[in-house]
Amino acid sequence: MENSKLSKSVQFMLVSTLCFTTMQSLVKFLPQFDSFQHIFFRSVIGWVMSVAYLLNQGISLRGKNVKMLIFRGIIGSAGMFSFFYILTRIPFGSSVAFKYLSPIFTAIFAVIFLKEKISRLQWFFFFISFVGILLLKGFDSRIGLFDAGIGLFSAVLGGLLVIVIRKIGDDDHHLVILHYFMFISALGSGIVAFQDWKTPVGTEWLWLLAIGLVGFVAQNFFTKAIQEPSDEVSFLAILRYSEVIYALIIGYFLFHEVYTLQSIVGIALIFTGLLLSFRYKS
């Protein structure tokens, strides 16, 4: 990393999206647990690791920006819960398409709250990548108005989340930010999960531990990427589309998934948007 021409924020974001994709792939091996139980275990493991490190380093768990830290935890958890809600209500491809609206909202919020300048070309690159997402994942026009509203709400919160982390800046350690988020997420998901609880047995504990560890690394690098001041969050936002590329590679080699011509065109558009963004930035 030290010898790379890519900025630290870009490197952190690319590692983060790879880890998020790996975590989602690991979840496929434990379909017997519902989404909220996965969130609960992932959050508890991440919270314990964050607190253990902070206590070992003598860093205050309270942090300096308490109100912003709580706000980050609430919107992060609400965004995740609303996304899992639409996962159970609408086709998978359409729910993922909603998820990838969040980088666009990040860019909009960056203009409003961070006073970033985004050129028409940059907006065009966003458009190219998002059209690729729609071609790849699809969108069902029969989705009800309420479910569509929840999907948009999730995307808005995902976009706002990045702005809040940048606003917190480096005043607070990135694990202090994670500690608040993981605690609030574990509390909220635990209330739902315990209504239909399934106790893990045998190797299931190891799989859940692996999911929690990889999820912790993903959140860790994501937070560090946003805290780095070297790049605008509007530029970092489009890098989140690289998660789709990782997912396709893992799906092809690990789960033997097959892609249609439409999927290949979608992949090409996502790559095009990302590469043009990099070139414009450089």
> How many residues are recorded in the chain?
282
- The pLDDT mean for the chain works out to 91
Instruction: Using the predicted structure, report yes or no on whether residue 40 has a pLDDT greater than 60.
Output: yes
Neighbours of 198 (CB within 10 A): 11
How far is Cα 47 from Cα 77, in angstroms, rounded to an integer? 13
Q: What is the pLDDT of residue 213?
A: 97
Q: What is the pLDDT of residue 3?
A: 53
Contact 202, 92 (CB under 8 A): no
Q: What is the pLDDT of residue 187?
A: 96
Residues near 244 by Cβ (< 8 Å), separated by ≥ 6? 100, 133, 136, 267, 270
Q: Please indicate whether residue 149 or residue 142 has the higher confidence score (pLDDT).
A: 149
Which of left, alpha, beta for 47 (phi over 0: left; psi -120 to 50: alpha)?
alpha
pTM here is: 0.90
Q: Please indicate whether residue 192 or residue 281 has the higher confidence score (pLDDT).
A: 192
Q: What is the pLDDT of residue 4?
A: 57
Tokens found for residue 183: 């605690």
3-class secondary structure, 120: helix
